[in-house]
Amino acid sequence: MTEKPTRTEKDSMGEMTLPADALHGASTHRAVLNFPVSGYRFSRPFIRALGLIKWAAAQANHDLGLLDAERAALIARAAEEVAEGKLDDHFPLDIFQTGSGTSTNTNANEVIANRCAQLAGKRIGSREHVHPNDHVNMGQSSNDAIPSAIHISAAEQLKNCLIPALEKLQSALEAKAKEFWDIIKIGRTHLMDATPIRLGQEFSGYAQQVAYAKERAQKSIEVLRELALGGTAVGTGLNRHIDLPKKMLRHLEQRTGIAFYEAKNHFEAQGGKDAVVEASGHLKTIAVSLFKIANDIRWLSSGPRCGIGEIQLPATQPGSSIMPGKVNPVMCESRAQRDDACDGAQSSRVDPAAGERRRCFLREMRARHRGERRALPRVSRAFHGNGDRSHPEDRL
């Protein structure tokens, strides 16, 4: 078998041999070898956010006269490609790695610097035009860039994906509430018959849950707007221009439409991630609401002969390999599985105890959670073996 061509690069620890066409450099390649843990990579929204940070830093440092026009233009162009997803193949790192995300910040710096070399007609690995630390990472640190990328990526996803989806769902449920208003049915408490209720009233409750979910998503954006950018290594702002954060944030708002602002206290912003915890709490609440709606509709459509059978769901696919004609509420179940994943994998504990009424409901999620535990032996081997990838399961 023909060996792939390689090149040699140096970092502060010495030389490393890596693939000739890889845009990441020596330090990133060390992390690739050190962390063969799960096979999970950073998400597209996160890599986009990191690219936007590097783009904004290049623009801001040029505005401040710290970066010449040629270098700034090269970095901005390469960082734009990172943000657009054109260089995703050059971000190979596992999400289980150094706790600060230094490896991934370094990955971005090296990829952008090497892409700048290509754009300038130089060989990959050349530092003649753009250096990953001196220029791409100017005025930044992993300790402020990575937390900020978490905030930016989450806020963008909430603004552009979750809130529009919730708006559509709310409108659909409100329309059903009106359509079903004249339908009188039995209400239930403790799964037992109670007093009458309108089917439209039930659906109006679902619509209101989604309205509150939308408000919670907006609250999440509000707490995520505060960014650690400018704190650099430990929150003191060492090695950056005093006006850099303000100028970076102005550029970021132009690109995202979100009015991010500099942390009121950089030591809080970098020493804790309470805003992320708060946003996570809102998202878990949203997940529980959607789980409840999906499961109610699943119950109300149960049957068709021996269940509640009060509503009929569209048939989307066959429901059994052995029972002809059986159709399952698969859209409700898929919805609930996603909510379960967001709510911290409750299926591993709740579903097995639920018995007949939820048979098969979250089985796939239990399989997924068990499969994710494959990371445990891998990280153990990496920990005591200093990145040794000789074990068959570590060759991802």
Q: pLDDT at position 396, please?
A: 42
Q: pLDDT at position 356, please?
A: 43
- Helix ranges (DSSP H) in the chain: 26-34, 44-63, 69-84, 102-119, 142-157, 163-179, 199-224, 244-256, 266-271, 274-300, 330-342, 347-354, 363-372, 375-385
9 burial (CB, 10 Å; 0-12 / 13-18 / 19+) is buried
| pLDDT tens per residue across span 259-302 | 999 999 999 999 999 999 999 999 999 999 999 999 999 889 88
Q: What CATH number belongs to 149-344?
A: 1.20.200.10
Selecting among 190, 321, 384, 390, the annotated active-site residue is: 190
Q: pLDDT at position 371, please?
A: 54
* 3-state SS assignment for residue 140: coil
* pLDDT-derived band at 390, boundaries 50, 70, 90: low
Q: Provide mean pLDDT across the span 215-237.
A: 97
Q: pLDDT at position 243, please?
A: 98
Residues 6+ apart with CB under 8 A from 43: 153
CA-CA distance, 337 to 189, in Å (whole number)? 25
Tokens 């990191």 correspond to what residue?
Answer: 50
- Helix ranges (DSSP H) in 85-182: 102-119, 142-157, 163-179
320 is catalytic: yes
In 3D space, the residue among 38, 95, 86, 60 whose CA is nearest the CA of residue 248 turns out to be 60
Please check whether residue 232 is in contact with residue 238, taking contact to mean a CB–CB distance below 8 angstroms.
yes
* pLDDT-derived band at 68, boundaries 50, 70, 90: very high
- Domain segments of the chain: what residues? 6-138, 149-344
Tell which wins on pLDDT, 383 or 284: 284
Quick check: 237 pLDDT over 80?
yes
Residue 364 CB coordination number (10 Å): 13
Q: Provide mean pLDDT across the span 107-118.
A: 97
308's enclosing H/E stretch is none
Please check whether residue 153 is in contact with residue 49, taking contact to mean a CB–CB distance below 8 angstroms.
yes
Q: Provide mean pLDDT across the span 203-223.
A: 97
Q: pLDDT at position 324, please?
A: 80
Judged by average pLDDT, the poorest of 103-117, 137-151, 324-338, 346-360 is: 346-360
Distance of CA 53 to the CA centre of its chain: 16
Quick check: 395 pLDDT over 50?
no
Q: pLDDT at position 384, please?
A: 55
190 is catalytic: yes
359 burial (CB, 10 Å; 0-12 / 13-18 / 19+) is exposed
Q: pLDDT at position 4, please?
A: 86
Superfamily of domain 6-138: Fumarase/aspartase (N-terminal domain) (1.10.275.10)
Selecting among 320, 334, 380, 391, the annotated active-site residue is: 320
| pLDDT tens per residue across span 173-188 | 999 999 999 999 999 9
The whole-chain average pLDDT of the chain stands at: 87
pTM equals 0.86
Q: pLDDT at position 327, please?
A: 75
CA-CA distance, 56 to 61, in Å (whole number)? 8
Q: pLDDT at position 71, please?
A: 97
* pLDDT-derived band at 69, boundaries 50, 70, 90: very high
- Tell me the pairing of strands 226-227 and 261-262: parallel
* pLDDT-derived band at 200, boundaries 50, 70, 90: very high
| pLDDT tens per residue across span 73-112 | 999 999 999 999 999 999 999 999 988 899 999 999 999 9
| pLDDT tens per residue across span 334-346 | 767 766 666 654 5
* 3-state SS assignment for residue 192: strand
Question: Which amino acid is it at 371?
Answer: G
- Helix ranges (DSSP H) in 301-360: 330-342, 347-354
- Tell me the pairing of strands 226-227 and 192-198: unpaired
Tokens 């020596």 correspond to what residue?
Answer: 26
Q: pLDDT at position 329, please?
A: 73
| pLDDT tens per residue across span 340-374 | 666 654 544 445 444 445 445 555 555 555 455 55
Q: pLDDT at position 342, please?
A: 66
Query: What percentage of residues in the chain have a pLDDT greater than 70?
Result: 84
CA-CA distance, 42 to 31, in Å (whole number)? 14
Residue 99 CB coordination number (10 Å): 7
Please check whether residue 156 is in contact with residue 258, taking contact to mean a CB–CB distance below 8 angstroms.
yes
Residues 6+ apart with CB under 8 A from 124: 7, 20, 21, 22, 23, 114, 117, 118
Query: What percentage of residues in the chain have a pLDDT greater than 90?
Result: 68
Tokens 């699943």 correspond to what residue?
Answer: 298
